[in-house]
């Protein structure tokens, strides 16, 4: 499916997170799409997903929710990193490319990750499904 946004033209192909050895999750983005954000953390822990949860903390307004998400990561024994200098979707791509590369993916709802990614896959959560996104 071809999608045009203000950030460009993208190709979306159905995909699923289980095909990747490690995930880098843009927490604010994915959690915002869920009716119960805690479900993101509990489901990941229950499934035994190898993931890094990247939490926005680059602006003062993010801090109350960031604290809550960091606490949920701790409660469920999940790896968590704070993005203190840039949006989490961009930091997730940087971490993915530096630590993992091919075979790993960033989970987000933001097209900026697809623009920046070179080695890592970017999976967009849209309409309750995951889509691998390619910049055209």
Per-residue confidence in pLDDT tens, the chain, 136 aa: 999 989 899 999 999 999 999 999 999 999 999 999 999 999 999 999 999 999 999 888 889 999 999 999 999 999 999 999 999 999 999 999 999 978 999 999 999 999 999 999 999 999 889 999 998 8
What is the CATH class of 2-135? alpha beta
pLDDT at residue 116, as a whole number: 95
CA 39 vs CA 35, 69, 76, 109: distances in Å: 9, 11, 11, 17
CB atoms within 10 A of CB 80: 20
Provide the residue ranges of all domains of the chain, joining segments of one domain with +: 2-135
pLDDT at residue 10, as a whole number: 96
Q: Which 8-state DSSP code applies to residue 17?
A: G
pLDDT at residue 58, as a whole number: 86
């Amino acid at each position: 499916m071809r999608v045009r946004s203000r950030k460009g033209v993208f190709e979306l192909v159905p995909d699923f997170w289980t095909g990747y050895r490690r995930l880098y999750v843009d927490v604010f983005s994915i959690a915002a799409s869920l009716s119960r954000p805690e479900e993101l953390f509990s489901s990941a822990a229950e499934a035994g997903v190898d993931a890094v949860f990247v939490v926005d903390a680059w602006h003062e307004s993010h801090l109350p929710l960031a604290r809550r998400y960091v606490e949920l990561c701790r409660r469920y024994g999940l790896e968590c990193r704070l993005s203190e200098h840039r949006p989490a979707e961009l930091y997730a791509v940087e971490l993915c490319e530096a630590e993992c590369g091919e075979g790993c993916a960033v989970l987000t709802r933001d097209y900026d990750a697809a623009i920046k990614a070179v080695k890592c896959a970017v999976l967009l959560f849209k309409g309750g499904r995951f889509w691998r996104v390619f910049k055209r």
